[in-house]
Structure 1
Amino acid sequence: MLGNNFDQPVINLHELTNGIMRYYSPLFKCEVLTKPNLWGYHQSLDQVTDLLSSVKHYKTARLAHYHIKSRGDSMAQQVPFYQYLNDNFFIISARRQNLLEHALSWCIKVHSKKLNVYSHAEKVDTFYDLYKNPITVQAEGMTTYLNKYRNYLAWVDNHFSVGSYFNYEKDLPQIEKYILDLPIFNNSPRLGWKETFGQDFETWNRCHYLLSDLSGISQQLDYAAPLSLDHNAANGMSKFQLQPVEKTQVTSSLNSLDQKYLIDHGEKYTATYKSLEQLVEDKILVTSVPIKLQTMTEKQLIIKNFSECVDWYNEWSLRNGLGETYTHEHLGVSMQKELMNWHANSIIAASAHAPGIEQ
């Protein structure tokens, strides 16, 4: 939206229910909204609505069900707020197809104490000890987060006029197309990430991930042959082992092809990273773009009782009629595809040795 130069400023407010404020922006020469220094539930939903309606610029924001639950507003207070959002915002509902991974991510968060990380140092510091000492997930924890997702779906269906559904598994691989197809871009040139920053988003985001990949998996990838997972391995899922690297050796721990990828694309990645930091400094963004935390393979390796978690999830899925049940073989195939996306050069090796493809 920023790259398309709309007729009004475009400002992100992050979560609506934990504080927003109005101030005069020297950059835009008008009053705009931003996040206050102190986040919290100190504003009523009526006050949030008044602030949103008090300025004219474009706003992007999110509303999390768990924040609404934590605030404890009465339904009489919530309903007018939801109506204002329905009347004044284009609403996107985020959905997950792989509810197993969704629940595991939240269980890992219990140990990491972080929902997202935004710098490589932050990711390394947050997960270093967890990678050194894999965790055990409790069945009650898995069930709690799965039930919360089910309740989220009901909350959305009961209160919002959804303009678009963002399905993480389907839409994230083509996220720029998904975004540019939203109605805000109907009358614009639809300039994308590459036109704005000089590098396509997938390349930038892969660098974003590789620069803080603590897992040690990169060195274990066999680029001489197509990537395959050994379903008879001792851990019941993959041939990989968790080999956490030292904090100061993350990039040097990557295999030569991943290191070359960073060298080839690092200059433009860094320039874009600095541009995003400037947008945060200018209070246009609240945060930069978060870094991919773990692939499903990494989740499997840092959770000691991963197989149990799969069984607990499958039981919940069948009992609630939500989500898809998984076999270890099914998970192995999807984990293979995911690794090939984040370690891009493995796609080249796998394609080159696939039947019917000449090298």
Structure 2
Amino acid sequence: MAGAIRPEPVTRLLRLVLTNFRNYERLTWEPAGTPVVITGDNGSGKTNLLEALSLLAPGRGLRGARNADLRRHSSETDRADSGWGVTARFSDDRGAFDVATGMEAEQEGARKFLLNGTTLRARTAIADYLSAVWITPQMDRLFGESASGRRRFLDRLVVAMAPHHARELAACERATAQRNRVLATQSTDPAWLSGIEDAMARHGVATIAARQDLVARLNAAGADPTGAFPSAQLSLICPVAERLKTEPALAVEDWLRARLRAARDKDRLRGHATLGAHRTDFALRDLQTGRFAAEASTGQQKALLIGVILAHARLMGSLGTTAPMLLLDEPLVHLDVIRRAALMNTLLDFRTPVLMTGTDPEPFAPLRDNALFVRLHNGILGSDGEGQEITRPA
């Protein structure tokens, strides 16, 4: 790939500042370009760096962690009331813009979001400027574990394309949890339960419809242009989604309300609602072989997931929405040599920030002439191999 002609990035990461975040007391980094390969020993903070960037986009970030768990812990300076912050400057065809998130000392609850220094009432406003998708090693087990992880993966892709999905999803989760609590108290107030179930139906159908729309778009996006990653077909496993294929949304809402009302006694005994958006699952199938991801090897599953992520990024670019940052934590693990090379070559064409991590720079050697290589050690980013510090002091 040496000497390849690369398109100019549309969105650039100009500066990143971390304060009391995870293992970073203070980090100021001004990357010279993209893609970036970040290497370092386990525990050096590579994933934390990607997580910090993921928190700037709508959603709960790469790990889905609690806000209070994101502050730095130190045996010498550990303070329960210390705040944390992530600030970044980007530029695109509109010029430079600053995005920040964090919690102030002694703040509880939701974290703050700022755009160009102004606090946002709705974090979804950031989506007009920034979005992100990612792959982590934990996702290698996506099809061997519970449906909840697969739902979170799918919902992250939906939020990146349709930020309002986060509000519908949160409202649906609140209503579902409230109904569970009411049923647990043996309450028989039908009006109260009906109001909660109405919210579950309205927000739940909207949530499932957004998932269904994304699945249809991804399935129509076509095969990987390089042919290196398998063409995948996604399918929702959800009775509500099945009805949405043939009935209008309002009719499906009425059906779901009726089903929830009829299932009150059964749900009270089970301790949770047995129908709704929180029960959705999805399957992923290799179109060429017909094999489902759940039956495939770890390497095949990883290839299918990367294919979906790349298709999603291409789709967002084609729709004129904000193309996402790609945050790829250990992306080469479980891939064969051919797919490793294909992935690295494909990433050179992305015109948004692309950050990859690994313990060893050698597998990324084909990118040497076209990527920025840095190494993490004790919270300091340096030029790999040279040891030259490229982070500036606070």
TM-score range, shorter chain: under 0.3
The structure with the greater share of residues assigned to strand is 2
TM-score where L is the length of structure 2: 0.26
